[in-house]
């Protein structure tokens, strides 16, 4: 505290609080936004001489020059190119010889592995065309399990597959090059898997399990893409021990919260991770691109919308992780092979992990977090209770003291000792935080609901405008209510009471997190642990600073003397910045019972008389009294004893509270926003993104609330303008643009018996009609709209009409398309002499993907031709619900399948046979899809609805 000559630059007053808090929040939030939206430049990093980013980029361009789903001829072209590219890499190795020895690296061109699997009434038969490169480790570590590195080289039928999963593929090509030189030879074997067929039921990874080499790995790294560009995020990991190798990545990025999302089933799509971990029992990591989802599975998933920096971000993380796994000498991951060929008993502890500004990576065990949580839940309240007891015993516990005490003062020789009542005001501000929080949250919820009702998809393209609105609104609501209460009932206890309430709320939150840690193995609540810890430390500081206070008894005895000195020394102070009450307030106060804030005598003459008597009595102690009075430089009309409190401790508190919580909460909020904001186009809840943004906005502002009443009007006024502008924008702006297009889903169904075709587009119900009206073929046609057949597609409509006929099968130009449909599929159905058995032979012209639907469900089936279809005890061909649908994929074109079927009920079998066509590289093959791309509004992009873009149907009976 500085006397009349000046003030501390960081005193707990309006100016310093406003400026210092604003600097902290603005600088950290800006840094978070910049880092979140910027891919680290590859030019600023060290790149090993074996790695060529230019080469990787050219490979990516070659890989993505056409759509290449499994059921396309372009897929075969990509496969052949990959084999040649791998041979080129191995032929130009920089090892001891000009060519990499086959004893060191071998290529497995798998054209024989098949798999049959099932899930919830769906069975799948798949023939693989995977490519594997086996790089051998050093002989002394040959007994250790291998490292599997996986990416899939097929794309979806509507996307070029640059990030899903082209970047993963070219990363593997560079990793092969990196590890096939003598300089980087691994200790463990490494198996690089380029699988085909991931996009449709993760078939490529499942068929890999049928190859003998699949018995070698014990750990894995899966490279994937669920967005289109940006940074590659650590989606999930199995345990702490494998995650430690990702820690060496130059630019780590991710949070364990995304892994919890998969574990709780909140994320619909899956990756090959679930096969390697769930079916094979391996331990490993899932690294994938996350955003923007509007480009995912569309033609915008191309090299145009990604960058060489994105390639390096994934590749550099892969190098660090794979090198760490491959050089590891421990037997940590060995486990044992069970009867069903699955690796079991291979240990591993659940991990907690998150990055800090994309530069540092925190990693610890969930068990450690659980123990720390338990200790904090017990010790933190206990520590505050002990401090409370100490303060009470020292008579320094000013909190909760609502007494009105009577003090005698010397009124002079005539009047003698007269009583004066004083309010301790220890309850002032007690209920301010909960009431303000409830009202502010309620008001913010109203604005959230307004946005959802009026313009529910604005977050699709403008998430940061939504963030700005919600942050500004919550701050304004809280500030206004706190300042209003502070104006009518000022209290120095607002800060500590706010911290106590925050402590209680965060303690309850930590209890819930601790339960989820122990019962459900969920680690995503780690930020609550830090949140609680910071609040506890800040609360403890407020408790500790009360130790410097006078004992209440001494304070009350000296109050008349010290109050007089305060009046004398501050009567000429500048009272302009809201720190003193107005004359009107002072006059009103004269009519009330005296409090600490009241003058000791109600008339100025009496006070001056008292002062003159005190001066004559204390002239010899004037310097000591001046020193004592310095302790009572209280703020405004707050309690006088608060002037004894240190004026700088709030700086410690805000430094403890704000930075760590802004960083952790902000990073998580931005990550979840990126994951959720464009999922309503897929049929996910519209409200989810808004609730997340609102909740995390509240969590970001709450650490500021103990100090918010000290803010001047300047920041709230600015934020009010921001809130008004962003609120208007969020209600009125169009929610899509060319960088954030609305995704719609295309499907064309052919009735091969009648020749009728129907084009179906599925999309948001509030915009789908605008899309369909823009298509020439829909005019004068009857458009039928219904909820989509898929479950949990909220807010979507499936609209269909008789569209342009496809030409996915070569035909005589003189023959009408409808007349050629009979040649699209060959179907032969034979019922055996037994009552509930038969065989179905099916093949598609210019297709290698067909499926069968059964009513009633099959109780058993077997692929008769091609023969020797493998059976794996890890995969049951028939699930507990029987077979309602059987999907079949062939590596050969037009060969088809012969299937023996058996159903459990008496009577016949009704069914549908469907073959799919997914190759749209020729724009004339599917004119209806070409029409959508050409005529749909510029703010629309298109993706596939199901396996085939065109599906031809025939019905059968047995």
Residues involved in catalysis: 198
**813 CB neighbour count, 10 Å cutoff:** 6
What backbone phi and psi angles, to 5 degrees, belong to 328? -65, 130
Mention every residue, 6+ apart, whose C-beta is less than 8 A from residue 301. 155, 159, 160, 161, 162, 163, 164, 225, 228, 295
Q: Of 327, 337, 57, which is closest to residue 169 (Cα–Cα)? A: 57
Find all residues with CB under 8 Å of 787, minimum gap 6, and list them. Answer: 793, 796, 797, 798
Q: For 453-476, give one letter per residue: b (16+ CB within 10 A) or e.
A: eebbbbbbbbbebbbbbbbbbbbb
Query: Closest by alpha carbon to 900, among 177, 125, 328, 4?
Result: 125
Residue among 298, 510, 157, 442 at smallest CA distance from 942:
298
Which H, E and C letters describe 31-52, residue by residue? HHHHHHHCCCCHHHCCCCCCCC
Q: Name which of 274, 209, 198, 293 is nearest 236 in CA terms.
A: 274
| Residue position matching structure tokens 């300042």 | 483
Q: Tally Cβ neighbours within 10 Å of residue 613.
A: 14
Continuous segment of H or E residues that includes residue 693: helix 687-701
> How far, in Å, CA of 415 to CA of 374, rounded?
62
- Does the bond joining 763 to the residue before it have cis omega, within 30 degrees of 0? no
- Phi/psi at 181 (nearest 5 deg)? -110, 155
**Plot region of 897 (φ>0 → left; ψ -120 to 50 → alpha; else → beta):** beta
Omega before 292 within 30 of 0, i.e. cis: yes
- Residue 611 CB-density burial (10 A; 0-12 exposed, 13-18 middle, 19+ buried): middle
Alpha helices in 365-406 (DSSP H): 366-393
8 A C-beta contact, residue 757 and residue 751: yes
Rounded Cα–Cα distance for residues 739 and 304 (Å): 12
Are the beta carbons of 219 and 326 closer than 8 angstroms? no
In angstroms, the CA 358 to CA 401 distance is 48
144 vs 189: CA distance, rounded Å: 8
Length of the chain: 958
Rounded to an integer, what distance in angstroms lies between the CA atom of residue 726 and that of residue 656?
Answer: 31
Distance CA 243, CA 840 (A): 48
User: How far apart, in whole angstroms, are the C-alpha atoms of residue 314 and residue 251?
Assistant: 9
Q: What six digits make up the tokens of 876?
A: 């049951």
Which string of DSSP letters, residue by residue, matches 608-675? Answer: HHHHHHHHHHHGGGHHHHHHHHGGG---TTS-GGGGGS-SSHHHHHHHHHHHHHHHHHHHHHHHHHHH
Which of 588, 44, 95 shows the shortest CA–CA distance to 316?
A: 44
* Residue 24 DSSP label: H
Give, rounded to a whole angstrom, the gap between the first and last alpha carbons of the chain: 95
Q: Please identify which residue in the block is written with the tokens 């509240």.
A: 698
Whether 465 and 725 have beta carbons less than 8 Å apart is answered as: no
């Amino acid at each position: 505290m500085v006397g009349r000559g000046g003030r501390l630059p960081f005193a707990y007053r309006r100016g310093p609080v406003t400026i210092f808090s604003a600097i902290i929040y603005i600088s950290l939030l800006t840094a978070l936004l910049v880092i979140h939206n910027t891919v680290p430049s590859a030019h600023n990093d060290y790149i090993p001489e074996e790695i060529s980013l230019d080469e990787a980029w050219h490979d990516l361009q070659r890989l993505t020059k056409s759509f290449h789903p499994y059921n396309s001829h372009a897929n075969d072209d990509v496969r052949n190119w990959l084999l040649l590219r791998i041979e080129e890499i191995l032929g130009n190795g920089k090892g001891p010889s000009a060519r990499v020895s086959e004893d060191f690296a071998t290529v497995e061109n798998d054209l024989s592995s098949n798999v049959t699997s099932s899930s919830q009434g769906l069975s799948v038969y798949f023939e693989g065309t995977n490519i594997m490169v086996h790089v051998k480790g050093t002989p002394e570590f040959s007994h250790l399990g291998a490292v599997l590195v996986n990416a899939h080289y097929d794309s979806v039928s509507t996307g070029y597959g640059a990030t899903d999963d082209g970047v993963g593929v070219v990363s593997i090509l560079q990793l092969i090059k990196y590890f096939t030189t003598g300089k980087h030879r691994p200790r463990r074997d490494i198996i690089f898997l380029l699988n085909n067929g991931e996009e449709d039921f993760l078939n490529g990874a499942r068929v890999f399990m049928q190859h003998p080499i699949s018995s070698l790995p014990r750990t894995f790294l899966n490279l994937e893409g669920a967005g289109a560009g940006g940074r590659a995020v650590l989606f999930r990991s199995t345990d702490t021990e494998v995650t430690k190798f990702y820690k060496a990545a130059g630019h780590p990025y991710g949070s364990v919260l995304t892994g919890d999302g998969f574990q709780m089933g909140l994320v619909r799509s899956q990756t090959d991770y679930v096969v390697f971990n769930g079916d094979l029992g391996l331990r490993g990591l899932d690294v994938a691109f996350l955003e923007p989802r509007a480009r995912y599975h569309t033609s915008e998933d191309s090299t145009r919308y990604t960058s060489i920096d994105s390639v390096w971000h994934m590749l550099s993380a892969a190098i660090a992780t794979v090198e760490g796994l491959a050089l590891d000498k421990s037997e940590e991951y060995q486990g044992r092979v069970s009867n069903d060929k699955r690796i079991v008993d291979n240990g591993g502890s659940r991990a907690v992990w998150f990055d800090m500004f994309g530069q540092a990576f925190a990693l610890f065990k969930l068990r450690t977090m659980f123990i720390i949580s338990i200790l904090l839940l017990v010790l933190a309240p206990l520590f505050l209770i002990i401090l409370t007891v100490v303060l009470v015993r020292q008579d320094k516990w000013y909190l909760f003291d609502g007494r009105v005490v009577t003090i005698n003062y010397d009124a002079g020789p005539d009047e003698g000792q007269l009583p004066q009542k004083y309010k301790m005001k220890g309850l002032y501000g007690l209920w301010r935080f909960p009431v303000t929080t409830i009202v502010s949250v309620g008001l913010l919820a109203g604005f959230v609901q307004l946005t959802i009702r009026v313009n529910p998809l604005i977050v699709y393209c403008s998430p940061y405008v939504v963030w700005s609105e919600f942050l500004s609104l919550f701050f304004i609501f809280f500030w206004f209510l706190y300042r209003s209460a502070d104006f009518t009932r000022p209290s120095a206890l607002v800060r500590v009471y706010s911290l106590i309430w925050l402590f209680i709320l965060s303690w309850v939150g930590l209890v819930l997190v601790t339960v989820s840690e122990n019962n459900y193995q969920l680690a995503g609540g780690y930020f609550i642990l830090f949140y609680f810890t910071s609040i506890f430390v800040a609360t403890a500081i407020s408790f500790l600073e009360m130790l410097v206070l006078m004992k209440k008894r001494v304070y009350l005895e000296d109050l008349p003397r010290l109050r007089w000195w305060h009046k004398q020394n501050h009567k000429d102070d500048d009272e302009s910045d809201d720190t003193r009450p107005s004359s009107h307030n002072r006059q009103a106060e004269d009519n009330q019972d005296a409090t600490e804030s009241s003058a000791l005598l109600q008339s100025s003459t009496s006070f001056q008389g008292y002062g003159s008597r005190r001066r004559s009595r204390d002239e010899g102690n004037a310097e000591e009294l001046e020193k004592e009075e310095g302790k009572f430089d209280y703020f405004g009309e707050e309690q006088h004893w608060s002037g004894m409190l240190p004026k700088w401790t709030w700086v410690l508190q805000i430094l403890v509270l704000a930075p760590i919580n802004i960083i952790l909460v902000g990073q998580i909020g931005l990550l979840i926003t990126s994951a959720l904001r464009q999922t309503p186009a897929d049929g996910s809840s519209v409200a989810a993104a808004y609730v997340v943004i609102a909740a995390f906005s509240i969590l970001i502002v709450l650490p500021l609330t103990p100090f918010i009443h000290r803010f001047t009007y300047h920041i709230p006024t600015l934020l009010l303008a921001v809130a008004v502008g962003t609120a208007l924008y969020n209600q009125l702006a169009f929610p899509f643009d060319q960088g954030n297009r609305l995704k719609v889903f295309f499907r064309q169904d052919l009735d091969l018996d009648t020749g009728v075709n129907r084009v179906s587009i599925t999309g948001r119900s509030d915009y789908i009609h605008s899309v369909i009206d823009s298509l020439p073929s829909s005019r004068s046609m009857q458009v039928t709209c219904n909820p989509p057949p898929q479950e949990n597609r909220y807010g979507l409509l499936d609209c269909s009409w008789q569209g342009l006929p496809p030409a996915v099968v070569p035909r005589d130009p003189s023959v009408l398309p409808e007349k050629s449909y009979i040649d699209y599929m060959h179907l032969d159905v034979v019922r055996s002499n037994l009552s509930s058995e038969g065989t179905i032979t099916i093949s598609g012209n210019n297709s290698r993907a067909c499926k069968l639907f059964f009513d009633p469900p099959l109780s058993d089936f077997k692929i008769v031709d091609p023969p020797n279809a493998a059976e794996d005890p890890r995969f049951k061909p028939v699930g507990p619900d029987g077979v309602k649908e059987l999907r079949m994929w062939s590596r050969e074109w037009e060969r088809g399948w012969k299937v023996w079927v058996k159903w459990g009920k008496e009577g016949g079998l009704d069914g549908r046979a469907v073959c799919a066509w997914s190759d749209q590289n020729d724009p004339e093959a599917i004119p209806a899809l070409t029409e959508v791309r050409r005529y749909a509004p510029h703010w629309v992009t298109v993706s596939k609805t199901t396996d085939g873009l065109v599906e031809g149907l025939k019905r059968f009976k047995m």
